[in-house]
Amino acid sequence: MEPLSRKLIAELLGSAMLAAVVVGSGIAAQRLSPGDVGLQLLENAAATAVGLYAIILIFGPVSGGHFNPVVSLVDAALGGLSWKHAAAYVPVQVLGCVGGAVLANIMFAAPVVSISTTERITVPHGVAEVVATAGLVLVIFSLARTGRLDRAPAAVGAYIGAAYWFTSSTSFANPAITVGRVFSDTFAGIAPASVVPFIACQLLGGLAAIAIVRVLYPARQADPVSSPASGAR
User: Which of 45, 70, 193 lies closest to 140 in space, CA to CA?
Assistant: 70
Would you list the domain boundaries of the chain?
4-228
pLDDT at 226: 62
Per-residue pLDDT of the chain (233 residues; tens, 9 = 90+): 679 999 999 999 999 999 999 999 999 999 999 999 999 999 999 999 999 999 999 999 999 999 999 999 999 999 999 999 999 999 999 999 999 999 999 999 999 999 999 999 899 999 999 999 999 999 999 999 999 999 999 999 999 999 999 999 999 999 999 999 999 999 999 999 999 999 999 999 999 999 999 999 987 655 566 643 333 22
Query: ∠ at Cα 53 (117, 176), nearest 5°?
Result: 35
Query: ∠ at Cα 69 (67, 71), nearest 5°?
Result: 80
**R_g of the chain computed on alpha carbons:** 16
- CA–CA separation, 173 and 128 (whole Å): 9
Residue 89 carries which side chain, given as an amino acid letter?
Y
Q: Superfamily assignment of 4-228 in CATH?
A: Glycerol uptake facilitator protein. (1.20.1080.10)
